[in-house]
Structure 1
């Protein structure tokens, strides 16, 4: 997803799967108060996991669910999810003041004002002065000093570490961003399970990569990180984050991050040969419009990839469709080709356009 407002087409549906009552979105545009852009210009920080939205609303917007690859979870108002501790630049507030238009390290969009706090110079200085840890296990619970749950961290989440002298048996001290009664960011102390955090950045080697991939494999697919689940680009972003390799949030941008080699105009056989000859396993991205995968080497002479994907394209005489998979997994570039209705003209291999070597 991208942009502040979606195209005004006639095949949109709301939460009740009916067309929006207001096709022009006039009231929501008014709520966005874009004339106030840049009037606040404050620093902020995320204090609880929150959605980054294209509109200042949590109401979803789908395309016609009867279309292949549409409906839930493809909410076109969802940009991504922001995690606790992510820094923000706050441009301005909505007309009612209940949403903030922000720029994050991932994208720009709208955040519920209750999920952020405004950061003054004192907070920023202290927060940035601490060494960092990164979550290497999924759903890592962070608790306060009284043992109460505050939030959880997903793989790739970065958080400042507390004084190691205060660590207790089996627990690692971390800093927690909170909001005071005035909405100002304050720092509290908490703990998380020892072993769930690693020093940031984590050394890049195949053993560590395998451990991170094991945490991500089998997790549900989530467009725009909806419900805390990952789509293709979010999964790769979180896979490389522990190693200090920052990737943009969206697949097309990720494909432009390193040494990019075009695969356009090549036959499927030529594409495979090019990837096998020049790709570096676990350091090379494979991209086609709308999807990105990690090259994982070969299995029985065929290319293997690691990716988060929604489904396999199918086709009958009457219509196109999807065989839903909705997970992160190792597959070939032609997953599901054995299915009787698989669309063999729409495999990943046939649609591949480029490979990107992130680093050597």
Structure 2
């Protein structure tokens, strides 16, 4: 993953130190939590909805969203149109994906106990990619993820870190797949335990046991099947069932599209349970030989899901974002959570918008609407752009993204997945508050370092609009 560690480091400087437009408002209060400008009322979506006029107006309809998704898929090099891949893949194409994803480290890496990982162990992991065994040409194979599973930079579950005292950012962790995600299977690791797959938003290594291989038509027909449910909760689970362990208490993350199983009579038990209080889903499962099959599973109707993607409104943006409030930061969707770019993309995914996976790719995507900032852009112009932002706008600095949720007393606030915030107190000392979670903070006082604000480091503002 090419997100910088900045994604974890948010700094905030007290307004008392500044002058000019950035600091024209009254100073922020510092509550017992130490989180500048915050109180309990601001931790509720209702607070922000009360500040919005015309909150339920549709910003983009389904047709406009579909057109945007097609544009991003066609124009963004980080996205993959797996439907357009030919019947065969060349060895150079496959090797290019694998080599581009991860380079052999030139610095020491550390394990979970803070011990340096021997170079021989790292070499063995990279050798397990088995690049020499990639054929000059091979048939294009399709599959589906059968559970939430990690996408890795190299074929290993070994967790490695850049610093002995930092065990949050696993340098081999990239992203995640969700149940039903379609993939193209391109290569198998030397030990046979890993597959290199290409999904619409990412190409990386995944545990072979989490992928079921099937015919192209079967995979894509299931992806397109109707009727379906869109998961709108943060991460609900299917009903527990001892009769079908593969689909028992299976986690379904926000934005996942799951077809309904319409084959069974409404009065027939599903996995030992009457289905009338639940939705009967059709989920992919992996048979003993690794092949793809589909099985019914129950999702309780009181779990958050919808018959279609939610309307893209400012109210829904806020409601969906706050469903993750307090979730532990997870680099590359680790820790059963998500990181800053995963957070904003999963929120928008519940409304049908398919964004690139990583912060940098989102910030420069040719398919999205940008306001771009460079060294020539002065502070006042940046602040003017910030004050004109609307709910749902995304602010990018190198390695980090924040989502605007509204203003209080003229000051914009954001929700983002971040490790902490630092600010200079009235006596001039620096205070750091650890967050390491999806959090709400004011925007303008944030500092990239002791002298420069996040506003001064902005590279782009992305607005999801037609």
Normalised-by-shorter TM-score class: 0.7 to 0.9
**Number of residue equivalences:** 346
> Aligned partners of 2:202, 2:227: CA distance in 1, in Å?
25
State whether structure 2 residue 368 is matched by structure 1 residue 273: no
Higher helix share: 2
State whether structure 2 residue 141 is matched by structure 1 residue 141: no
1:160 to 259, 281, 291: 259
Q: Name the SS for the 2:115 alignment partner.
A: coil
Q: CA 1:335/1:72 → structure 2, altered by over 3 Å: closer, same or farther? A: farther
Q: Write the mapping of 1:20-59 to structure 2, written as runs, cut at 5 A.
A: 20-22=117-119, 25-37=122-134, 39=138, 41-59=140-158
| 1:286 Cα deviation after fit | 0.8
Q: CA 1:18/1:147 → structure 2, altered by over 3 Å: closer, same or farther? A: closer
**Runs of at least 5 residues in structure 2 that lack an aligned partner in the other structure:** 3-99, 268-274, 425-429
- Give the structure 2 partner of residue 358 of structure 1: 464
| 1:271 Cα deviation after fit | 1.5
Q: 2:142·2:216 contact (CA, 8 Å) conserved in 1?
A: no
State whether structure 2 residue 310 is matched by structure 1 residue 215: no
State whether structure 2 residue 262 is matched by structure 1 residue 262: no
Q: CA 1:133/1:346 → structure 2, altered by over 3 Å: closer, same or farther? A: farther
| 1:357 Cα deviation after fit | 1.6
Q: CA 1:288/1:122 → structure 2, altered by over 3 Å: closer, same or farther? A: closer
> Aligned partners of 2:125, 2:163: CA distance in 1, in Å?
21
Q: 1:281·1:296 contact (CA, 8 Å) conserved in 2?
A: yes
| 1:222 Cα deviation after fit | 0.8
- Give the structure 2 partner of residue 193 of structure 1: 300
Q: 1:102·1:108 contact (CA, 8 Å) conserved in 2?
A: yes
- Give the structure 1 partner of residue 396 of structure 2: 287
Q: Name the SS for the 2:238 alignment partner.
A: strand
- Report which stretch shifted further, 201-210 or 178-187: 201-210
- Report which stretch shifted further, 321-330 or 176-185: 321-330
Q: CA 1:352/1:275 → structure 2, altered by over 3 Å: closer, same or farther? A: same
- Give the structure 1 partner of residue 250 of structure 2: 151
> Aligned partners of 2:385, 2:409: CA distance in 1, in Å?
17
Whose Rg is larger? 2
- Give the structure 2 partner of residue 64 of structure 1: 163
1:113 to 198, 208, 211: 208
Q: 1:123·1:186 contact (CA, 8 Å) conserved in 2?
A: no
- Give the structure 1 partner of residue 421 of structure 2: 312
> Aligned partners of 1:304, 1:314: CA distance in 2, in Å?
16
> Aligned partners of 1:181, 1:88: CA distance in 2, in Å?
19
Q: 1:51·1:80 contact (CA, 8 Å) conserved in 2?
A: yes
TM-score by length of 1: 0.87
Q: Name the SS for the 2:101 alignment partner.
A: coil
Higher strand share: 1
RMSD: 2.7
| 1:336 Cα deviation after fit | 7.0
TM-score by length of 2: 0.68
Q: 1:232·1:292 contact (CA, 8 Å) conserved in 2?
A: yes
> Aligned partners of 1:72, 1:6: CA distance in 2, in Å?
20
| 1:313 Cα deviation after fit | 5.2
> Aligned partners of 1:144, 1:187: CA distance in 2, in Å?
17
| 1:40 Cα deviation after fit | 5.8
Q: Name the SS for the 1:141 alignment partner.
A: coil
Q: 1:49·1:84 contact (CA, 8 Å) conserved in 2?
A: yes
Q: 2:144·2:182 contact (CA, 8 Å) conserved in 1?
A: yes
Q: Name the SS for the 2:334 alignment partner.
A: helix
Q: 1:136·1:156 contact (CA, 8 Å) conserved in 2?
A: yes
> Aligned partners of 1:169, 1:298: CA distance in 2, in Å?
44
| 1:46 Cα deviation after fit | 0.5
> Aligned partners of 1:241, 1:335: CA distance in 2, in Å?
30
> Aligned partners of 2:326, 2:364: CA distance in 1, in Å?
27
Q: Name the SS for the 1:95 alignment partner.
A: coil
**Runs of at least 5 residues in structure 1 that lack an aligned partner in the other structure:** none
